[in-house]
A and B are shown apart, each in its own frame.
Chain A
Amino acid sequence: MFDYLQFVLAPQMVIGLSLGIAVVLVALGLTIIFGLLDVINMSHGEFYAVGAYLALSLGALGLNFWLLLVLVPALMIPIGFAVERGLIQRVFNSPDRHVSTLLLTFGLGIVLEDLLSLIYGPNTQRPPTPISGAVEIFGILLPTYRLFLIVIGLLIVVAVSLVVYRTRLGAMVRAAAYDRNMAASLGVPVKTVFAGAFAFGIALAGLAGVLLAPVYSVFPTMGRDFILLAFTVVIVGGMGSIIGAVVAGLGLTQIQAISSLYISPVWSDPIVFGILVVVLMLRPQGLFGKLGRA
């Protein structure tokens, strides 16, 4: 019994945890953008890919991985700002904001993905793993980089929620999400806050790209594989909820990891999407509340 736990269940759960953290990182930006702007960013997966490719190019120039962790998100911020101001604001006040922003970002995603394969070619590339070696936890050998990923992922989640819930900036963001007109009349620069939050979400996607590139490889359609799971996480957790993204992200990947012990892993995708449909049917707002409401 104990052997089963140690040698079968635990490794599966730890691997599931590192995938879960990766998904949470991608979902975090998605949920912030939805919570604040009510925009479903269909191009989020492509921004994740852009982050990974930026890391690849800059890494090839000889820049250190630790520098990239700061530099790539910093480069993504002006991109996100420009996209929000130049594209999303153009249809933001149309009567059907959800649909038109979804369509616009969907188009943007198509363009970005094809642009990446135009520049870098369709082949898979793999940047070197910045931390080599493996560590032993509870008798399981885990690559050190995966452990680093789990730790830094948790740190990022904590940092983001501290910024959103414990700082003046975060209060402004939550106020704008709750009631933009009231926030504007109290002197919150709502337009800048919106563009800034979008840019922040994009920067998080880019950061996830840098962190995950050594594990999951880099290819133009890399965003697609991840974004489906990330969307599911955001919906199940409650669109716009940070804690929801974390709980759903870790929970769903654990379900995937554990279920693959008993049934063929090819069924893990239908299970996850099945959960998505059931949650949407029974509790469309997700398990947790929206940003600014709680």
Chain B
Amino acid sequence: MHETLPLVAASSPPNRFDRLGLAMRASHVLAAIFVACCLLFAFLAWRADDVFYLRLATEALIFAGLALSVDILLGYTGLLSLGQALYFGLGAYTSAVVLRAGFSFAGTLMIVFVFSIIVSLVGGVIVNRVRGVYFALITFGMAQVVAKIVYNTRELGASDGLIGVPIVSIGFGFMTTSSASPVGFFLFTLVFIMLIYLVLAYLLNTPFGRVLIALKANERRVPFLGYRPFSARLAAYVVAGVTAALAGALYPMLRGFVSPELLSFTTSGNAVITVVTGGAGTVIGALYGSLLLTALRSFVGSWTAHHLIVIGLMFMAVVVLFPKGLVGFVRMRLQRFLERGQ
């Protein structure tokens, strides 16, 4: 809160990047490593004819998208959302309904995109009336209301969810893949999530992103600098909502069904755990965090049903010992290295 962050870039002309720009570059280096590891994994899994781990990794990437959306709010704007599953579930349910109605892949994403903008604008106006701990609670309450309504609505499958989402083919003009192909859909999800990462990283590095950081550092000063906190917070909330919804839209394509579980507090809580473990405010930390937690859940889960003890203890250790998260810890060192190279 009392960190003095340079809000205006290029205070000294010879340096091409200020501290925040450098931090973002360090994130990009880590992102490149992330993509390389994912490609290597995809190649190995494809050679080994694996389906299970590819599907698991695809799911991890989809939930990484949800974690990214939490990071925009927590890491940048300083708002803890305990109900981001609302938008993830919104995307997943919309996508399932639209796909079942026979829409194409591109049409589905378009509809999810537009619908999530509308809903998150309405939601943003509601939740942005409050700050701090009340923000966490109102997002939590709102997600609970929606989750219970979906749970009670027979048209949306009630407690069973919606099953029988058809396989979609995803075409880019020059090549086509299908949601049923493990490698193809994994690679597509990787591209999709990395595109979201790049768009977010770009957005957060613009003056808009700096206003968000300023809001986190000291909200009262922001109006004196000529910015409207309400608009900036609303914009951040909408960007986060759309991010979560787009990631959620891929879920029914991967699994073929959606369930109210996607809207539950567990989903929101897991996203928060992912971001905090990975490193809030690092953007790329959300992706590493999601892979790490999925891997932990799967490997610890293979020899005991009580993997939550391990994850919970690790999470508590991160909160106490590495407040910047695991990637945040690495990134700080990487940033210093880049600084020297400049």
Measured in the bound complex, the distance between the Cα atoms of B147 and A266 in whole Å is: 12
Measured in the bound complex, the distance between the Cα atoms of B202 and A219 in whole Å is: 48
Q: Are A270 and B137 in contact (CB under 8 A)?
A: no
Across the A-B interface, the 6 shortest Cβ-Cβ residue pairs: A110-B312, A111-B312, A95-B1, A114-B308, A107-B316, A276-B141
Query: Of A95, A114, A264, which is in contact with the most chain B CB atoms at under 10 Å from its CB?
Result: A114
Give every chain B residue within 8 A of A118 (Cβ-Cβ). 306, 309
Given contacts A270-B149, A274-B145, contact A110 B308 (CB under 8 A): yes
Q: Is B272 an interface residue, CB under 8 A from the partner?
A: yes
Q: Are B80 and A102 in contact (CB under 8 A)?
A: yes
- Interface positions, chain B 147-166, Cβ under 8 Å from A, are 148-149, 151-152
Distance in angstroms from B94 CB to nearest chain A CB is 20
Measured in the bound complex, the distance between the Cα atoms of B130 and A233 in whole Å is: 18
Q: Is A125 an interface residue, CB under 8 A from the partner?
A: no
Give every chain B residue within 8 A of A95 (Cβ-Cβ). 1-2
Query: Of A90, A270, A276, A277, which is in contact with the most chain B CB atoms at under 10 Å from its CB?
Result: A277
Which one of A96, A106, A115 lies within 8 Å of B1 (CB-CB)?
A96
Q: Are B145 and A270 in contact (CB under 8 A)?
A: yes
Q: Chain A interface (Cβ within 8 Å of chain B)?
A: 40, 87, 90-91, 94-96, 98-100, 102-104, 106-111, 113-115, 117-118, 228, 231-232, 235, 264, 266-267, 269-270, 273-274, 276-277, 280-281, 284
Q: Chain B interface (Cβ within 8 Å of chain A)?
A: 1-2, 74, 78, 80, 126, 129-130, 132-134, 136-138, 140-142, 144-145, 148-149, 151-152, 269, 272-273, 276, 306, 308-309, 311-313, 315-316, 319-320, 323
Q: Are B141 and A40 in contact (CB under 8 A)?
A: no
Measured in the bound complex, the distance between the Cα atoms of B78 and A266 in whole Å is: 35
CB-CB nearest in chain B for A280: B138
Given contacts A103-B272, A107-B315, A111-B313, contact A269 B148 (CB under 8 A): yes
Distance in angstroms from A273 CB to nearest chain B CB is 4
Distance in angstroms from B122 CB to nearest chain A CB is 12
Given contacts A104-B316, A269-B144, contact A231 B78 (CB under 8 A): no
Distance in angstroms from B130 CB to nearest chain A CB is 5
Given contacts A95-B1, A270-B149, contact A102 B133 (CB under 8 A): yes
Q: Are A99 and B80 in contact (CB under 8 A)?
A: yes
Which one of A117, A228, A269, A280 lies within 8 Å of B130 (CB-CB)?
A280
Q: Are B311 and A273 in contact (CB under 8 A)?
A: no
Which one of B78, B134, B151, B152 lies within 8 Å of A284 (CB-CB)?
B134
Give every chain A residue within 8 A of B1 (Cβ-Cβ). 95-96
Distance in angstroms from B276 CB to nearest chain A CB is 6
Distance in angstroms from B33 CB to nearest chain A CB is 27
